[in-house]
Structure 1
Amino acid sequence: MNPLMTLGLAFSSIIERPLRSILTSLGIIIGVAAVYAMLALGDGAKKKVEESLNSVSARTINVFPDWGRRRTSQSKPRMPFKESDVDEVRNIPGVMAASGELERGVTIANEIGDLSGRLYGVGPDYLLTEDATLILGENITYSDIENSAPVAMISQSIMERLFNNQDPRGETIKVNNVAFTVKGVFKVPTNNWSGSDLDVWAPISIARERIVGGDRFVQNHVRSLKAVGELGADLQLIEREMNVILQRSRGLKSDTPPDYRLVSWRAGREQAAEQTKAISFLLAVMGAISLLVGGVGVMNIMLVSVTERTREIGLRMALGAKKNNIMGQFLTEALLLCIISGIVGLGVGYYMSKLAMDTMDLDLVFSPQVALISFGASLVIGVVFGFLPARRAARLNPIEALRHE
């Protein structure tokens, strides 16, 4: 039989029973829509986790003193870190940026008013380690640190509240009554846990001399330090190198518990990535189950159709139709029904997903691969669940079929 004739017969059989065809298609439509939406949601979650793992915060290693741990010799004082530690860490292969930090709560004031905030004594790399954006002006330089220049960078919130959101460059602020000239404005991402709303960044040297104070045991001390690895860098290797540097600098033996802590958030985010993969798999399985239920519906309706059209099948066989022709017609009918349902299901899944994105703030990724997988699943359902009714129709005895009432 001509393939076009087979397709025409299958299409006419579908439209002759519109209500039954629509009800049969609903299972496939819902299944394809569910698979499409679930896969898009899973890909969206995967993309978000990958972006998170590549973010600056995920590649940051923070080092804090851990004075709760006892040193081998109690005669040794509690030592802060040194600027030379920061310089050595910065030179580790794979490190993109490193900076020391001093911190103190302060009062920030000008002619308009005063605020309670925090002063950070930092180096030039601090802008990178905080993943901050320079909105106006210039970053702190090594020259500022060498000369203990009384300059500062302020957060966007301070600019808004003390300068009425006007350009503050060249203006003076007082931090604990110490005058600083504003040279830049920065903005820290809202997801940066270490960033606060009202921050002032100053060269670490003048912060130490005028605001925070020195340390009688360590010259050029820093309270903590942080390093950011390059994209693709081995963070575990960087951590090992940092341990070697700090243990040597602090006079610790290899078997001595360190009096500092290395903190990285990457392990937690990698664990979240694994959980996301598991959730994405479960979502895909749920969609596949919906599609499977729809396929069972197609098979049931096709079996009913074979029963109802037994005399028609017998007549066609008596007129010379072969088993392959009969089987091809019913298989084509099931496949055509699933193709139409698959196309409609993709549309329903897309618009329902877009609605979920707008109302529930979900991240979804609509890719050609997701659409092909969803649509391909409907074709497989058509072939698999259409085969049994088609084979049953092809195996009917023509004489018995003609006698069927």
Structure 2
Amino acid sequence: MLKIYQYRELNREATQQLVSRNADENNTIGERVESIIAAVKAEGDQALIRFAETFDKVSLSKLYLNQAEIATIAAQIGDEQRLAIDTAYNNIHKFHQSQLKKEAQVETMPGVTCWREFRPIEKVGLYIPGGTAVLPSTFLMLGVPAKIAGCKEIVVCSPPQKDGSINCYIAYVAKLLQIDRVYLVGGAQAVAAMAYGTESMPKVDKIFGPGNQYVTKAKTIVQSTTPTAIDMPAGPSEVLVIADETSNPVFVAADLLAQAEHGVDSQAVLVATSEEIIAKTIAELEKQLAVLPRKEIAAQAIDNSYAVVAADLEEAMAFSNEYAPEHLILATESWQKITGLISNAGSVFLGNLTPESAGDYASGTNHTLPTSAYAKSYSGVSVDSFVKKITFQHLTAQGINNLGTTVEVLAELEGLQAHKNAVTVRKSLAGK
């Protein structure tokens, strides 16, 4: 069950050690991933087929499902599940569509106009995790903003099921998003295939999607060795819950377990203003854990998690900012008093009636978020993640004369005479 720490007793070194997670100190994961990437780069499709047999225990005759096959599988979905996915799709689309805004032109001085325009990233790769849980919600979170952004080619990879296919929920989302091919490839090998391309799979410009430590490591490696960008180093999932005397221990325990059931490497952290709150939450954890279908997985994650006792909500928030959680839940009626103190978090859930599950599935916000303290420097996925913003400027005759002398002086002091000349020749013509 949860280990308990007193925040006031933690020095700087102990705090940093406590908030550290998913380290690969001996580079064991890194070395394995590098060998997988090298194999895919050298052997292409054959490596992917071999890895499917090794890791997924599936013998594939081909590496993808086509549009007709996807439609046949999607037809198996039940009405209740279809309605739920449709509702989530509509909410996610509505929230992300609002992000697509044209920026105004700015006249920085008379005759000098500057602005930005977005252009979609042409080829993007979406990694939809499989493993112990298949996640059509992640498909929605990545596919919807990609479509809104206008990406011309969307490559989708997801690990094959035991029958060498995908489930009807993934297929239905593919149909909703008008994706005509789903590649049956998972893990680090999927990332490598999207980064380098194979006989069957085109190379992409940017890779999106969460995954385990192997997927995360593969993304960071290909980003540094190819022109392929990544959304963020999004690894095993995590939540931090801040609780006080106004919290409901039943809700808090449910939120911690909702995170823990993702995988044994997930982490659920409770920061509370008293040991009594923690004790009540632990009692609820034991009660709720006993009836979960994925209780073995959740129990291991909880055993690797912990609770911290803070003096007050401000101190709790200080610890949270050090941890920089993927998901932050303010399980308090006083949440409005402390939201201004948040500096590092992927997505925030406010009050006792806002579970993380809402954002995971259907409120509209994106659940592909930075983990492992990357929330200190990364944002979650949005429409902006799928576009490039190109700057434009236009100078009139008045503009080149107004700005010219400034540019000439700056170019000259840097010793770049050709830069100065490019302005000077225009000033002489503009003055005529």
Normalised by the length of structure 1, the TM-score is 0.21
* Larger Rg, first or second structure (1 or 2): 1
Normalised by the length of structure 2, the TM-score is 0.20
Structure having the larger proportion of residues in helix: 1
